[in-house]
Amino acid sequence: MNLATDLTSLLQQYGGWGIAAIVILGLVYFYKDFKKTVNCKDQKFENLYQKYLESTEQHHKEMINVVTECTGVLVTVNDSLKKCELRQELLKHD
């Protein structure tokens, strides 16, 4: 009740200026709350983006390792096929 009495006396003394001050204080409060919420969301998005970059980098490294391993296997298979072909050629000529 004390707040209502103080508010009433403020409005009686200052009229429109009192209402303007109350509205401005309300807007400032909501703006600060809005900025706090937006900054929190921005931080969450930044954290998600950093996690995405880390996982993408890790995935890229894993893909390179797999391709390198597959290339090594293919080279080995290719060499073995060439050796088999040479043996076949030698057996045909004997």
What is the Cα gyration radius of the chain? Answer: 38
State the residue range of the domain holding 65.
2-93
Strand (E) or helix (H) holding 25? helix 16-93
Residue with tokens 């103080």: 6
- pTM comes to 0.49
The greatest distance separating any two alpha carbons of the chain, rounded to the nearest whole angstrom, comes to 121
Provide the residue count of the chain.
94
Q: For residue 91, give both structure tokens.
A: 């057996």
Total number of domains constituting the chain: 1
Q: What does each of the 94 residues of the chain score in pLDDT, given as a tens digit?
A: 688 888 788 778 878 787 888 889 999 999 999 999 999 999 999 999 999 988 998 898 999 999 999 998 999 999 999 999 998 888 887 6
